[in-house]
Protein backbone atom coordinates (compact mmCIF):
# COMPACT_ATOMS: atom_id res chain seq x y z
CA UNK A 1 0.00 0.00 0.00
CA UNK A 2 1.30 3.47 -0.81
CA UNK A 3 2.38 5.80 1.96
CA UNK A 4 -0.21 8.45 2.65
CA UNK A 5 0.48 11.77 4.32
CA UNK A 6 -2.76 13.64 4.96
CA UNK A 7 -2.52 17.42 5.38
CA UNK A 8 -2.36 18.25 9.05
CA UNK A 9 -5.11 20.47 10.49
CA UNK A 10 -4.47 23.79 12.18
CA UNK A 11 -2.00 22.95 14.94
CA UNK A 12 -3.08 25.95 17.05
CA UNK A 13 -6.47 24.33 17.65
CA UNK A 14 -5.59 20.63 17.40
CA UNK A 15 -2.43 20.25 19.51
CA UNK A 16 -2.49 17.85 22.44
CA UNK A 17 -1.29 19.11 25.81
CA UNK A 18 1.42 16.87 27.25
CA UNK A 19 3.08 16.95 30.70
CA UNK A 20 6.13 19.14 31.27
CA UNK A 21 9.25 17.72 29.63
CA UNK A 22 7.28 15.70 27.06
CA UNK A 23 7.32 16.66 23.36
CA UNK A 24 4.07 18.25 22.13
CA UNK A 25 1.99 16.52 19.47
CA UNK A 26 3.27 18.70 16.65
CA UNK A 27 6.71 17.17 17.12
CA UNK A 28 5.45 13.56 17.26
CA UNK A 29 5.45 11.19 14.27
CA UNK A 30 3.16 8.17 14.26
CA UNK A 31 3.31 5.30 11.77
CA UNK A 32 0.03 3.42 11.21
CA UNK A 33 0.43 -0.01 9.57
CA UNK A 34 -2.69 -1.88 8.43
CA UNK A 35 -3.55 -3.86 5.28
CA UNK A 36 -7.15 -2.59 5.35
CA UNK A 37 -7.07 0.87 3.65
CA UNK A 38 -10.30 2.07 5.24
CA UNK A 39 -9.22 1.18 8.77
CA UNK A 40 -5.74 2.61 8.19
CA UNK A 41 -7.08 5.91 6.83
CA UNK A 42 -9.73 6.26 9.53
CA UNK A 43 -7.22 5.85 12.34
CA UNK A 44 -4.77 8.18 10.63
CA UNK A 45 -7.38 10.93 10.37
CA UNK A 46 -8.26 10.59 14.06
CA UNK A 47 -4.59 11.12 14.93
CA UNK A 48 -4.04 13.94 12.46
CA UNK A 49 -7.01 15.87 13.88
CA UNK A 50 -5.11 15.97 17.16
CA UNK A 51 -2.01 17.44 15.58
CA UNK A 52 0.19 14.40 15.01
CA UNK A 53 2.24 13.83 11.88
CA UNK A 54 0.97 10.50 10.56
CA UNK A 55 2.58 8.06 8.10
CA UNK A 56 0.92 4.94 6.65
CA UNK A 57 2.05 1.52 5.40
CA UNK A 58 0.08 -1.48 4.10
CA UNK A 59 1.98 -4.32 5.80
CA UNK A 60 4.93 -5.06 8.05
CA UNK A 61 7.50 -5.22 5.29
CA UNK A 62 6.55 -1.78 4.00
CA UNK A 63 6.32 -0.61 7.59
CA UNK A 64 9.97 -1.54 8.20
CA UNK A 65 11.04 0.49 5.17
CA UNK A 66 9.10 3.56 6.31
CA UNK A 67 10.25 3.23 9.92
CA UNK A 68 13.93 3.05 8.94
CA UNK A 69 13.54 6.18 6.85
CA UNK A 70 11.35 8.28 9.16
CA UNK A 71 12.13 6.98 12.70
CA UNK A 72 8.60 7.44 14.11
CA UNK A 73 7.96 8.00 17.79
CA UNK A 74 5.03 5.56 17.92
CA UNK A 75 4.01 2.68 15.64
CA UNK A 76 0.43 1.41 15.64
CA UNK A 77 0.29 -1.89 13.74
CA UNK A 78 -2.45 -4.38 12.95
CA UNK A 79 -1.74 -7.92 14.15
CA UNK A 80 -3.05 -9.88 11.16
CA UNK A 81 -1.45 -8.77 7.85
CA UNK A 82 -0.07 -10.48 4.70
CA UNK A 83 3.63 -10.54 3.80
CA UNK A 84 4.74 -9.70 7.36
CA UNK A 85 2.25 -9.75 10.23
CA UNK A 86 2.29 -7.51 13.27
CA UNK A 87 4.36 -9.87 15.44
CA UNK A 88 7.09 -10.28 12.81
CA UNK A 89 7.03 -6.53 12.13
CA UNK A 90 7.40 -5.81 15.86
CA UNK A 91 10.34 -8.20 16.10
CA UNK A 92 12.03 -6.50 13.13
CA UNK A 93 11.57 -3.07 14.72
CA UNK A 94 12.91 -4.14 18.11
CA UNK A 95 15.85 -5.92 16.48
CA UNK A 96 16.97 -2.65 14.87
CA UNK A 97 19.07 -0.72 17.40
CA UNK A 98 18.04 2.64 15.94
CA UNK A 99 14.31 1.76 16.07
CA UNK A 100 14.31 -0.16 19.34
CA UNK A 101 13.15 2.82 21.48
CA UNK A 102 10.08 3.31 19.24
CA UNK A 103 6.87 2.68 21.19
CA UNK A 104 5.04 -0.20 19.50
CA UNK A 105 1.25 -0.65 19.86
CA UNK A 106 -0.47 -3.71 18.41
CA UNK A 107 -3.99 -3.35 17.04
CA UNK A 108 -5.84 -6.57 17.72
CA UNK A 109 -9.16 -8.27 18.02
CA UNK A 110 -7.51 -10.83 20.32
CA UNK A 111 -8.25 -10.37 23.97
CA UNK A 112 -7.08 -13.70 25.34
CA UNK A 113 -4.32 -13.44 27.97
CA UNK A 114 -2.10 -16.00 26.25
CA UNK A 115 -2.28 -14.02 22.98
CA UNK A 116 -1.42 -10.78 24.75
CA UNK A 117 1.54 -12.53 26.43
CA UNK A 118 2.67 -13.70 22.99
CA UNK A 119 2.60 -10.11 21.76
CA UNK A 120 4.66 -8.89 24.71
CA UNK A 121 7.14 -11.70 24.13
CA UNK A 122 7.65 -10.40 20.59
CA UNK A 123 8.48 -6.92 21.88
CA UNK A 124 5.16 -5.06 21.83
CA UNK A 125 4.84 -2.22 24.34
CA UNK A 126 1.05 -1.96 24.42
CA UNK A 127 -2.19 -3.23 22.87
CA UNK A 128 -5.38 -1.52 21.72
CA UNK A 129 -8.53 -3.11 20.44
CA UNK A 130 -9.68 -2.36 16.92
CA UNK A 131 -13.04 -1.53 18.47
CA UNK A 132 -11.53 0.93 20.96
CA UNK A 133 -12.95 4.43 21.19
CA UNK A 134 -11.03 7.41 19.88
CA UNK A 135 -10.26 8.77 23.39
CA UNK A 136 -8.79 5.39 24.38
CA UNK A 137 -6.60 5.28 21.27
CA UNK A 138 -5.38 8.83 21.87
CA UNK A 139 -4.73 8.01 25.52
CA UNK A 140 -2.61 5.00 24.49
CA UNK A 141 -0.69 7.15 22.02
CA UNK A 142 -0.05 9.85 24.61
CA UNK A 143 1.16 7.21 27.07
CA UNK A 144 3.50 5.94 24.38
CA UNK A 145 4.82 9.45 23.71
CA UNK A 146 5.48 9.95 27.42
CA UNK A 147 7.41 6.70 27.51
CA UNK A 148 9.29 7.68 24.34
CA UNK A 149 10.17 11.09 25.78
CA UNK A 150 11.41 9.50 28.98
CA UNK A 151 13.50 7.09 26.94
CA UNK A 152 15.02 9.99 25.01
CA UNK A 153 15.80 11.79 28.25
CA UNK A 154 17.49 8.66 29.56
CA UNK A 155 19.45 8.39 26.33
CA UNK A 156 20.57 12.02 26.62
CA UNK A 157 21.49 11.53 30.25
CA UNK A 158 23.41 8.38 29.39
CA UNK A 159 25.24 10.19 26.59
CA UNK A 160 26.00 13.15 28.86
CA UNK A 161 27.38 10.78 31.46
CA UNK A 162 29.43 8.99 28.83
CA UNK A 163 30.78 12.31 27.52
CA UNK A 164 31.54 13.49 31.06
CA UNK A 165 33.30 10.24 31.86
CA UNK A 166 35.36 10.45 28.68
CA UNK A 167 36.29 14.05 29.49
CA UNK A 168 37.15 13.09 33.05
CA UNK A 169 39.37 10.23 31.86
CA UNK A 170 41.08 12.58 29.40
CA UNK A 171 41.68 15.21 32.10
CA UNK A 172 42.89 12.53 34.50
CA UNK A 173 45.37 11.28 31.90
CA UNK A 174 46.58 14.84 31.29
CA UNK A 175 46.91 15.40 35.04
CA UNK A 176 48.82 12.15 35.43
CA UNK A 177 51.24 13.21 32.68
CA UNK A 178 51.75 16.55 34.46
CA UNK A 179 52.24 14.83 37.82
CA UNK A 180 54.74 12.39 36.37
CA UNK A 181 56.64 15.29 34.79
CA UNK A 182 56.63 17.16 38.11
CA UNK A 183 57.72 14.00 39.93
CA UNK A 184 60.67 13.62 37.55
CA UNK A 185 61.62 17.24 38.26
CA UNK A 186 61.48 16.69 42.02
CA UNK A 187 63.57 13.54 41.71
CA UNK A 188 66.10 15.51 39.65
CA UNK A 189 66.73 17.56 42.79
CA UNK A 190 67.78 14.48 44.76
CA UNK A 191 71.46 13.53 45.17
CA UNK A 192 73.05 11.69 42.24
CA UNK A 193 76.44 10.58 43.51
CA UNK A 194 77.18 7.74 45.92
CA UNK A 195 80.32 9.71 46.90
CA UNK A 196 79.36 13.41 47.04
CA UNK A 197 82.84 14.30 48.35
CA UNK A 198 86.15 12.51 48.94
CA UNK A 199 85.87 10.18 51.91
CA UNK A 200 82.06 10.50 52.11
CA UNK A 201 79.62 7.75 51.12
CA UNK A 202 75.90 8.38 50.55
CA UNK A 203 72.80 6.13 50.49
CA UNK A 204 69.13 7.09 50.59
CA UNK A 205 65.51 6.05 50.09
CA UNK A 206 62.76 8.37 48.90
CA UNK A 207 59.18 7.08 49.28
CA UNK A 208 56.45 9.68 48.57
CA UNK A 209 52.97 8.55 49.60
CA UNK A 210 51.61 9.92 46.29
CA UNK A 211 53.20 10.58 42.90
CA UNK A 212 54.57 13.80 44.38
CA UNK A 213 55.78 14.16 47.94
CA UNK A 214 56.45 16.96 50.40
CA UNK A 215 59.74 15.51 51.68
CA UNK A 216 63.06 16.38 50.07
CA UNK A 217 66.72 16.19 50.95
CA UNK A 218 70.00 17.16 49.46
CA UNK A 219 73.76 16.75 49.74
CA UNK A 220 75.34 19.57 47.74
CA UNK A 221 78.75 21.27 47.53
CA UNK A 222 78.88 24.64 49.25
CA UNK A 223 82.23 25.66 47.91
CA UNK A 224 85.42 23.59 47.50
CA UNK A 225 85.78 22.63 51.15
CA UNK A 226 82.19 22.40 52.39
CA UNK A 227 79.28 20.02 51.91
CA UNK A 228 75.71 21.16 52.57
CA UNK A 229 73.33 18.53 53.93
CA UNK A 230 69.62 19.03 54.52
CA UNK A 231 66.31 17.25 54.88
CA UNK A 232 62.98 19.07 54.92
CA UNK A 233 59.31 18.23 55.15
CA UNK A 234 56.46 20.45 53.98
CA UNK A 235 53.20 20.11 55.86
CA UNK A 236 50.77 17.97 53.91
CA UNK A 237 51.72 15.96 50.85
CA UNK A 238 50.97 15.79 47.16
CA UNK A 239 51.49 18.40 44.44
CA UNK A 240 51.12 21.49 46.65
CA UNK A 241 53.67 20.30 49.21
CA UNK A 242 56.10 19.22 46.47
CA UNK A 243 55.95 22.62 44.76
CA UNK A 244 56.58 24.45 48.05
CA UNK A 245 59.53 22.17 48.81
CA UNK A 246 61.03 22.65 45.34
CA UNK A 247 60.69 26.42 45.76
CA UNK A 248 62.51 26.42 49.09
CA UNK A 249 65.30 24.14 47.87
CA UNK A 250 66.34 26.70 45.24
CA UNK A 251 67.62 28.87 48.10
CA UNK A 252 69.94 26.08 49.31
CA UNK A 253 71.97 25.83 46.10
CA UNK A 254 75.58 26.89 46.33
CA UNK A 255 75.07 29.68 43.80
CA UNK A 256 72.03 31.04 45.67
CA UNK A 257 73.38 31.08 49.23
CA UNK A 258 75.61 34.17 48.92
CA UNK A 259 72.96 36.31 47.23
CA UNK A 260 69.81 35.07 48.97
CA UNK A 261 71.05 33.97 52.38
CA UNK A 262 74.51 35.51 52.75
CA UNK A 263 75.87 32.75 55.01
CA UNK A 264 76.68 29.04 55.22
CA UNK A 265 75.88 28.94 58.92
CA UNK A 266 72.90 26.54 59.38
CA UNK A 267 71.21 28.66 62.06
CA UNK A 268 71.48 31.82 59.97
CA UNK A 269 70.17 29.96 56.91
CA UNK A 270 67.10 28.84 58.86
CA UNK A 271 66.49 32.35 60.16
CA UNK A 272 66.59 33.65 56.60
CA UNK A 273 64.23 30.93 55.36
CA UNK A 274 61.88 31.77 58.23
CA UNK A 275 61.66 35.30 56.86
CA UNK A 276 61.29 34.19 53.24
CA UNK A 277 58.63 31.51 53.88
CA UNK A 278 56.14 32.71 56.51
CA UNK A 279 53.18 30.59 57.54
CA UNK A 280 50.69 30.55 54.65
CA UNK A 281 47.02 31.48 54.93
CA UNK A 282 46.25 27.75 54.90
CA UNK A 283 48.68 27.12 57.77
CA UNK A 284 51.39 25.51 55.62
CA UNK A 285 54.92 25.35 57.04
CA UNK A 286 58.25 23.47 56.84
CA UNK A 287 60.34 21.42 59.24
CA UNK A 288 64.02 21.38 58.28
CA UNK A 289 67.37 20.05 59.44
CA UNK A 290 70.46 21.65 57.86
CA UNK A 291 74.09 20.67 58.27
CA UNK A 292 77.31 22.22 56.96
CA UNK A 293 80.25 19.78 56.83
CA UNK A 294 83.74 21.28 56.65
CA UNK A 295 85.60 18.57 54.76
CA UNK A 296 89.21 19.28 55.89
CA UNK A 297 88.33 19.15 59.60
CA UNK A 298 85.17 16.98 59.41
CA UNK A 299 83.38 19.47 61.60
CA UNK A 300 79.62 19.19 61.13
CA UNK A 301 77.69 22.31 62.10
CA UNK A 302 73.92 21.88 62.17
CA UNK A 303 70.64 23.45 63.18
CA UNK A 304 67.02 22.30 63.09
CA UNK A 305 63.60 23.88 62.76
CA UNK A 306 61.11 21.41 64.17
CA UNK A 307 62.85 18.41 62.60
CA UNK A 308 63.98 15.75 65.06
CA UNK A 309 64.79 12.67 62.95
CA UNK A 310 68.60 13.17 62.69
CA UNK A 311 71.16 11.07 64.54
CA UNK A 312 74.92 10.51 64.60
CA UNK A 313 75.88 6.84 64.87
CA UNK A 314 79.46 6.51 66.05
CA UNK A 315 81.64 3.67 64.88
CA UNK A 316 82.20 2.63 68.51
CA UNK A 317 78.45 2.25 69.11
CA UNK A 318 77.70 5.56 70.75
CA UNK A 319 74.85 7.66 69.39
CA UNK A 320 74.09 11.39 69.44
CA UNK A 321 70.69 12.89 68.67
CA UNK A 322 71.47 15.79 66.32
CA UNK A 323 68.50 17.82 67.43
CA UNK A 324 68.15 21.48 68.28
CA UNK A 325 64.66 22.39 69.66
CA UNK A 326 63.10 25.23 67.67
CA UNK A 327 59.88 26.17 65.90
CA UNK A 328 59.32 25.05 62.30
CA UNK A 329 60.06 27.54 59.56
CA UNK A 330 57.24 30.05 59.16
CA UNK A 331 55.66 29.69 62.61
CA UNK A 332 56.85 32.96 64.11
CA UNK A 333 58.68 35.90 62.57
CA UNK A 334 61.98 36.79 64.17
CA UNK A 335 62.69 33.26 65.43
CA UNK A 336 66.41 32.61 65.92
CA UNK A 337 67.99 29.21 65.35
CA UNK A 338 71.09 28.05 67.22
CA UNK A 339 73.91 26.22 65.49
CA UNK A 340 75.66 23.27 67.16
CA UNK A 341 78.72 21.37 65.97
CA UNK A 342 80.22 17.89 66.24
CA UNK A 343 83.44 16.43 64.86
CA UNK A 344 83.12 13.25 62.82
CA UNK A 345 85.50 10.30 62.91
CA UNK A 346 86.17 7.56 60.37
CA UNK A 347 83.29 5.08 60.32
CA UNK A 348 80.75 7.51 61.80
CA UNK A 349 77.35 7.83 60.15
CA UNK A 350 74.86 10.67 59.99
CA UNK A 351 71.31 9.37 59.48
CA UNK A 352 68.48 11.73 58.52
CA UNK A 353 64.84 10.58 58.50
CA UNK A 354 61.49 12.24 57.87
CA UNK A 355 58.71 11.73 60.41
CA UNK A 356 56.71 9.81 57.79
CA UNK A 357 59.10 6.93 58.51
CA UNK A 358 59.43 6.81 62.29
CA UNK A 359 55.88 7.98 63.08
CA UNK A 360 54.24 4.97 61.44
CA UNK A 361 51.60 3.34 63.69
CA UNK A 362 51.09 -0.32 64.38
CA UNK A 363 47.68 -1.88 63.78
CA UNK A 364 47.00 -1.07 67.46
CA UNK A 365 47.87 2.60 66.92
CA UNK A 366 51.25 2.58 68.71
CA UNK A 367 53.94 4.69 67.00
CA UNK A 368 57.20 3.07 65.96
CA UNK A 369 58.84 6.20 67.31
CA UNK A 370 62.28 7.79 67.33
CA UNK A 371 63.67 5.44 69.98
CA UNK A 372 62.97 2.30 67.93
CA UNK A 373 64.19 4.01 64.75
CA UNK A 374 67.45 5.01 66.44
CA UNK A 375 67.91 1.48 67.80
CA UNK A 376 67.37 0.06 64.29
CA UNK A 377 70.13 2.18 62.70
CA UNK A 378 72.43 1.59 65.67
CA UNK A 379 72.03 -2.21 65.52
CA UNK A 380 72.88 -2.25 61.80
CA UNK A 381 75.94 0.04 62.05
CA UNK A 382 78.34 -2.79 61.09
CA UNK A 383 76.47 -3.55 57.88
CA UNK A 384 77.08 -1.62 54.62
CA UNK A 385 75.38 1.77 54.64
CA UNK A 386 72.85 0.96 51.90
CA UNK A 387 71.84 -2.25 53.70
CA UNK A 388 71.42 -0.36 56.96
CA UNK A 389 69.12 2.15 55.25
CA UNK A 390 67.07 -0.66 53.68
CA UNK A 391 66.84 -2.49 56.99
CA UNK A 392 65.31 0.56 58.71
CA UNK A 393 62.71 0.81 55.94
CA UNK A 394 61.88 -2.90 56.30
CA UNK A 395 61.47 -2.57 60.08
CA UNK A 396 59.12 0.40 59.69
CA UNK A 397 57.00 -1.58 57.21
CA UNK A 398 56.93 -4.58 59.51
CA UNK A 399 55.82 -2.37 62.39
CA UNK A 400 52.84 -0.99 60.47
CA UNK A 401 52.27 -4.34 58.69
CA UNK A 402 51.84 -2.61 55.34
CA UNK A 403 54.32 -2.01 52.50
CA UNK A 404 53.16 1.54 51.70
CA UNK A 405 53.59 4.52 53.98
CA UNK A 406 50.58 6.77 54.61
CA UNK A 407 52.82 9.86 54.71
CA UNK A 408 55.87 10.81 52.66
CA UNK A 409 58.96 9.01 53.93
CA UNK A 410 62.63 9.73 53.31
CA UNK A 411 65.80 8.25 54.84
CA UNK A 412 69.33 9.46 54.13
CA UNK A 413 72.65 8.12 55.35
CA UNK A 414 76.19 9.63 55.17
CA UNK A 415 79.24 7.58 56.16
CA UNK A 416 82.73 8.97 56.68
CA UNK A 417 85.56 6.70 55.63
Strand duo 74-78 + 29-33: pairing: parallel
In a domain, 310, yes or no: yes
Q: Which of 159, 191, 221 is the last residue of a domain?
A: 159
* pTM assigned to the model: 0.62
Q: 3-45: per-residue pLDDT in tens?
A: 444 443 333 333 334 443 344 455 789 999 999 999 899 999 9
Assess whether 341 and 201 both reside in one domain.
Answer: yes
Classify 133 as helix, strand or coil: coil
Pair 276, 289: CB distance under 8 Å: no
Question: Alpha carbon 80 to chain centroid distance?
Answer: 57
In a domain, 168, yes or no: no
Q: 323-366: per-residue pLDDT in tens?
A: 988 999 988 888 999 999 999 999 999 999 998 899 999 999 99
Please provide the average confidence, as pLDDT, over all residues in the chain: 85
pLDDT value of position 353: 94
Sign of the four-CA dihedral 337, 340, 344, 350: negative
In a domain, 165, yes or no: no
Name the DSSP class of 86: H
Assess whether 147 and 214 both reside in one domain.
Answer: no
Among the listed ranges 110-114, 363-367, 396-400, which one has the minimum average pLDDT value? 110-114
Q: DSSP letters of 288-334?
A: EEEEEEETTTTEEEEEEEB---EEEE-TTS-EEE-----PPBTSSTT
Assess whether 195 and 128 both reside in one domain.
Answer: no
Q: 126-135: per-residue pLDDT in tens?
A: 888 888 888 9
Assess whether 51 and 92 both reside in one domain.
Answer: yes
In a domain, 1, yes or no: no
Q: What is the CATH number of the domain that holds 31?
A: 3.40.50.2300
234 pLDDT band, cuts 50/70/90, is confident
Classify 118 as helix, strand or coil: helix
Assess whether 201 and 317 both reside in one domain.
Answer: yes
Assess whether 131 and 73 both reside in one domain.
Answer: yes
Q: What number of other Cβ atoms are within 10 A of residue 52's Cβ?
A: 28
In a domain, 201, yes or no: yes
Assess whether 193 and 296 both reside in one domain.
Answer: yes
Query: Stretch 299-310: mean pLDDT, rounded?
Result: 94
Assess whether 199 and 138 both reside in one domain.
Answer: no
Assess whether 274 and 350 both reside in one domain.
Answer: yes
Assess whether 135 and 268 both reside in one domain.
Answer: no
Q: How many domains does the chain have?
A: 2
Q: Which of 112, 129, 159 is the last residue of a domain?
A: 159
Pair 343, 407: CB distance under 8 Å: no
Domain encompassing residue 100: 11-159
**Closest listed residue to residue 389, CA positions, set 373, 374, 377:** 377
Q: Give the integer Cα–Cα distance in Å for 276 and 279.
A: 10
Q: Give the integer Cα–Cα distance in Å for 348 and 146.
A: 83
In a domain, 343, yes or no: yes
Name the DSSP class of 280: P
In a domain, 146, yes or no: yes
Q: What is the CATH number of the domain that holds 361?
A: 3.60.40.10
Q: Which of 100, 129, 159 is the last residue of a domain?
A: 159
pLDDT value of position 19: 40
Assess whether 383 and 287 both reside in one domain.
Answer: yes
In a domain, 172, yes or no: no
Assess whether 183 and 155 both reside in one domain.
Answer: no
Instruction: Name residues whose C-beta falls within 8 Å of residue 297's C-beta, 6 or more positions apart in sequence.
Output: 343
Q: Give the integer Cα–Cα distance in Å for 232 and 287.
A: 6
Amino acid sequence: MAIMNHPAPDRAHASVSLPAGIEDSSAATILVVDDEPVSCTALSLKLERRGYRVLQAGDGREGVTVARREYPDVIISDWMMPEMDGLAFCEAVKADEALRPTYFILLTAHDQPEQIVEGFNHGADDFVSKAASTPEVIARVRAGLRARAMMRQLERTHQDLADSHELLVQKQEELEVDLQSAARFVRSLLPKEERPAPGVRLAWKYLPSLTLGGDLFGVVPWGDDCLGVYILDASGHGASAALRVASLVTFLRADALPQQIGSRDPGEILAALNRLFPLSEDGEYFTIWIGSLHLPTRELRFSAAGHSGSVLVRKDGHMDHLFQPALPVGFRSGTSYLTRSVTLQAGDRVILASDGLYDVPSINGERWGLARFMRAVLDSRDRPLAESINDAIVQARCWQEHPRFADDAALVGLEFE
